[in-house]
Every structure is written in C-alpha cells, then in structure tokens.
C-alpha cells in the first residue's frame, strides 16, 4: 500500500462496532429477530452513517484502509468509487469476496455471485450470468410469465387478507409465511414442499456465521438433491419450468442458482412490508398509488411505475443488501494512493442512500426513481450496479408491486405496531420489519371497490 488513507486503530474499532457488527449481528444471510429489534431501538444505521461521514471529512474520499492484521480491508467513502467498483466487476473487482463466499457457500457454493476470477471462464461465470438473465428476463419490465404468475400472487394475497380480517391484524409472521408459500409456487408450482424451504433456511442460518459456522456438507448435498427434484417437477408457467427449458448442463448447477433465488425472494417480502408501512403513514402517496391502480385492469399484469418507485424507495431507505463486497484481483490505484491485490472493498450502502447532503435523505421520496435523480447517481444501489447488478430486479419489482396492488385495492392498511415511523416526521434510519403489524380497514377510493370475496368481512 502507498499513499492510501489508513484509519487509526481506534477508528478501525469504531467501524467494527458501529458499522460491521450491527450488520453482521442482524443476519447477513438470514435476518435475526432479536438483533433487528435492538438495531431499531438503537437506530444503529444512523450511528454508522454519522461515523463514516465524519471519517470521510477527516480522511478524504478514500477508500479508507482499516488497521486489521492479516487482511487488507478498505471502506469505500465516495459515490464515484462505488460506481468504479461495481462497473469494474468481475475484473479487477470480483464479487466473489472471501467472506461472502464463506457465508453464501453454505447453501449454494456454485452460485453466480460467488464464482470468480481466473475461474471466470472455467466455471462459467458469464454463462451462469447469461442463464440467470435469460430465465429471469432481466431486461424486460414484465416477464413473459407475468400472466401466469399474477393469479398466484392474487390468490395468496387474498388468502392473507382473509386471515388478517379474521384475526384483525396482519403481522410479519403471517406475511412471511404467506410470502414463502407464494415464492414456492412462483418458482416450482406445487413441486416443492415446506421441508425444502426449511432445509434451505437452516443452511442460511449457518451462512450467517460465515467462516465460523460448521461446513454442513451432508445437509447441503441433501438440499441439492431436493432442489433438483423440485426443478424437475416444476409445473407449467413457473420459473422452475423456465430453468428446465434452458437445458443447462450439470456444470451450471441450476440447483445452486435456484437456491439463490429462494434466498433473495426473502428481501422482496421485507420490501412489501416496509412499503406498506411507508404508504400507511404517507396518505398522499397512498392516494397517488390508488389513483394509478384505478387506471389499470386488476387482472392484467402492469408495470405500475409509481408503486414500483415506492418499493424502490423502501429499498433505498432500508437496503436489504446493506453491504456490497468486492475483492481486488490485482493492485489498484485510487487518487494518489494504491491498494494491494486481494483487498476487500466494503460498500456500506446506507452511507450513500442516507447521506445527509442529499435533500431527500430521510424523506419518503419515490419521485427520485421516476425523475432521473436515482438513475444518475452511481451510489443509489439497492439492486447493486454494473455487470453483477441484480438480474432479478424487474421480476422482483413486478412481484412486489402486484402483491402490494392487491393489498391496497382490497383494504386500507393502518399501522398497528409501535414502529418508529410517523406521518410528517423524518423516516427512521433503521426499521425492524419483524415488528411491523397492520390493521385492515375497508378500502376507500371512488374508483376502486374491494373484491366481493374479501370485502365480505366488512359486510
């Protein structure tokens, strides 16, 4: 290393305690309930953003190297550097970062995100990426399977609404269970049982421990067998069927790629809950969303740009991938200094998404996703950026907005949990999705009636 700014030992410890520890404790692969509740109480993201902003003022744009024995680690502090890092994937910045590999390898050792470097060609990084893009139809706002997926989303949301009506509340536990079943049906139709998902969740919990967890090779092999069987049996109009249609050979390990999808769909469930909370306390935006819905046929897949922007905004405010990691595959120059090959680069996205210098930092501002503001900013990256940007983005946004659309058409969802999100106040830095709960009330909009099925609960 020469000329790159280095944090003092005290600053390094502070970053460890205020930025890395809360993120890791909340569960990087499978979120943990109690640490998330504590993080919300302490508003840990606020303290992390303040600390990194202060260090940027003190040390300049960085990247700021940490004083850690045995590993070169640098924290990215400038939006332009975020852009450079993500655009420079997979060479000279591989997404197959060592810590991420240890965590995600627990349940999908051959996933595209942990394929790397010299192995780029050998292990088919591009081929894998290509097959993800082909099946997920990355570049189409509406997947060609959308007409088959929409009725599944509607059926499951109606079931969930009926449960909420009966119990008087929609809480995270019910929403999560319903969303897991929805995802299982979107991916496999009826061909996957709950045990498959439970086996995956158990391995993901081990992934939270990265290097420290047990290897669990036998459980992983058993999961791979189950996943292959579920892909083989996936029904018509499902993503699993589309995977089969790719005719991928075994070296691509379709079961590992699908394991990643099942894991990643969790974040979509979190986005649904948080967007619903945002709309519950922003009545003007809720009305705008309802006005948009009133112009669409509910039984036809639709892009719903405003509702999409609301979902994207929930992911800006509370990114579900708060740390983007890259390992340098060679020495790299940054301003006046350089960093050695093998350096781990850490992008803590809330630093940029909630930078107090941005006028919309702590405000619910869906307009930034439609007026070009977000697009022009290399550091607003809830779905990552560059060649490894989430290939499921459009499919996710379709699933999330379709589920939200159905929920909003049927009921007005009032926040019933003591979550720290209020009308007319800045949006909290940390929001525990486990703690969210809503009370259903009759939907009120001149152009939107609730469906006969679910409105019955209100007579």
Phi, psi of 108 (to 5 degrees): -155, 75
Selected from 383, 398, 413, 434, the binder of ligand HEM by CB under 6 A is 383
Residues 229-258 that bind ligand HEM (CB under 6 A): none
Which residue has the closest beta carbon to ligand HEM? 392
Residue pair 281/343 in contact (Cβ under 8 Å)? The answer is no
CB of 320 to ligand HEM, least distance (A): 5
First to last CA, the chain: 71
Restricted to residues 254-283, the positions that interact with ligand HEM (CB under 6 A) are 260-261, 264-265, 267-268, 271
Strands (E) across 275-426 are located at 323-328, 332-334, 337-339, 344-348, 411-415
Torsions phi, psi for 225 (to 5 deg): -65, -45
Q: How far is CA 207 from CA 16, 100, 103, 202, 256, in A?
A: 20, 9, 4, 9, 14
Angle, CA 212 vertex, CA 210 and CA 215 arms, to 5°: 80
The helix (H) or strand (E) run that includes residue 73 is strand 73-75
Instruction: Tell me: does residue 315 bind ligand HEM (CB under 6 A).
Output: yes
Considering the complex, state which of residue 179 and residue 383 has its C-beta at the smaller distance from ligand HEM: 383
Q: Please, which contacts does 120-128 make with residues 24 or more away whose CB atoms are closer than 8 Å?
A: 120/90, 120/91, 123/251, 124/251, 124/252, 125/90, 127/252, 128/252, 128/257
In terms of CB distance, is 276 or 443 closer to ligand HEM?
276
Binding window for ligand HEM (CB under 6 A); candidates: 167-175, 211-219, 220-228, 381-389: 381-389
Token pair, residue 100, equals 């991420």
Choose, by CB under 6 A, the member of 66, 248, 324, 403 that binds ligand HEM. Answer: 324
Q: Report the residue from 31, 65, 101, 129 that binds ligand HEM according to the rule CB under 6 A.
A: 129
H-only helix segments in 168-216 = 172-188, 194-207
The residue range among 2-10, 64-72, 379-387, 419-427 that interacts with ligand HEM, by the rule CB under 6 A, is 379-387
Report how far residue 56's alpha carbon sits from residue 65's, in angstroms, rounded to the nearest whole number: 12
**Among positions 320, 332, 401, 419, the unique one binding ligand HEM when judged by CB under 6 A:** 320
Select from 88, 189, 207, 384 the one that contacts ligand HEM (CB under 6 A).
384
Cβ 268 to ligand HEM shortest distance, Å: 4
Helices 254-281, 194-207: inter-axial angle, 10-degree rounding = 90
Residue 379 makes contact with ligand HEM by CB under 6 A: no
Site string for ligand HEM, 86-125 (x = CB under 6 A): ---------x----------------xx------------
- Please, what is the minimum distance in Å from the beta carbon of residue 136 to ligand HEM? 6
CB 123 within 8 A of CB 113: no
Angle at which helix 283-294 crosses helix 305-317, to 10 degrees, equals 150
Binding to ligand HEM, residues 136-195 (CB under 6 A): 136
For the bound state, the minimum distance from the C-beta of residue 7 to ligand HEM, rounded and expressed in Å, comes to: 23
Question: Which CB sits closer to ligand HEM, 273 or 443?
Answer: 273
The footprint of ligand HEM on residues 347-376 (CB under 6 A) is: none
Site string for ligand HEM, 388-407 (x = CB under 6 A): x-xxx--xx-----------
Residues that bind ligand HEM (CB under 6 A): 95, 112-113, 129, 132, 136, 260-261, 264-265, 267-268, 271, 315, 320-321, 324, 382-384, 388, 390-392, 395-396
């Amino acid at each position: 290393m020469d000329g790159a700014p280095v944090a003092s030992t005290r600053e390094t410890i502070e970053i460890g305690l205020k930025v890395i520890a809360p993120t890791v404790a909340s569960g990087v692969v499978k979120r943990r309930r109690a640490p998330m509740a504590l993080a919300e109480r302490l508003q840990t993201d606020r303290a992390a953003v303040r600390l990194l902003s202060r260090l940027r003022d003190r040390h300049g744009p960085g990247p700021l190297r940490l004083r850690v024995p045995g590993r070169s680690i640098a924290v990215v502090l400038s939006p332009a550097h975020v852009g450079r890092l993500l655009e420079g994937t997979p060479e000279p910045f591989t997404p197959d970062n060592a810590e991420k590999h240890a965590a995600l390898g627990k349940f999908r050792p051959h996933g595209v995100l942990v394929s790397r470097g010299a192995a780029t060609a050998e292990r088919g990084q591009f081929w894998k990426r290509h097959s993800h893009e082909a099946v997920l139809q990355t570049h189409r706002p509406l997947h060609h399977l959308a007409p088959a997926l929409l009725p599944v989303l509607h059926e499951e949301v109606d079931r969930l609404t009926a449960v909420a009506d009966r119990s008087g509340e929609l809480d995270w536990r019910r929403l999560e269970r319903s969303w897991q079943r929805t995802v299982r049906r979107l991916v496999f139709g009826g061909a996957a049982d709950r045990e498959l998902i439970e086996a995956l969740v158990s391995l993901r919990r081990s992934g939270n421990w990265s290097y420290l967890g047990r290897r669990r090779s036998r459980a992983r092999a058993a999961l791979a067998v189950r996943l292959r069987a579920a892909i083989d049996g996936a029904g018509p109009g499902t993503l699993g069927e589309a995977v089969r249609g790719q005719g991928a050979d075994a070296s691509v390990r379709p079961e590992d790629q699908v394991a990643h999808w099942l894991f990643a769909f969790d974040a979509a469930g979190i986005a649904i809950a948080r967007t619903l909370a945002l709309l519950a306390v922003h009545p003007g935006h809720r009305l705008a969303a309802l006005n948009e819905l009133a112009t669409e046929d509910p039984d036809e897949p639709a892009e719903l740009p405003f509702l999409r922007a609301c979902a994207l905004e929930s992911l800006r405010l509370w990114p579900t991938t708060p740390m983007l990691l890259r390992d340098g595959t060679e020495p790299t120059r940054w301003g006046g200094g350089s960093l050695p090959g093998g350096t781990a680069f850490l992008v803590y996205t809330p630093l940029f998404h909630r930078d107090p210098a941005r006028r919309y930092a702590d405000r619910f501002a869906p307009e930034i996703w439609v007026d070009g503001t977000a697009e022009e900013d290399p550091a607003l990256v809830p779905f990552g950026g560059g060649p490894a940007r989430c290939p499921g983005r459009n499919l996710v946004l379709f699933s999330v907005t379709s589920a939200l659309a159905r929920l909003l058409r049927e009921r007005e969802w009032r926040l019933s949990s003591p979550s720290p999100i209020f009308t007319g106040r800045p949006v909290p830095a940390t929001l525990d999705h486990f703690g969210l709960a809503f009370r259903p009330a009759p939907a009120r909009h001149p152009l939107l009636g609730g469906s006969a099925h679910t409105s019955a609960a209100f007579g």
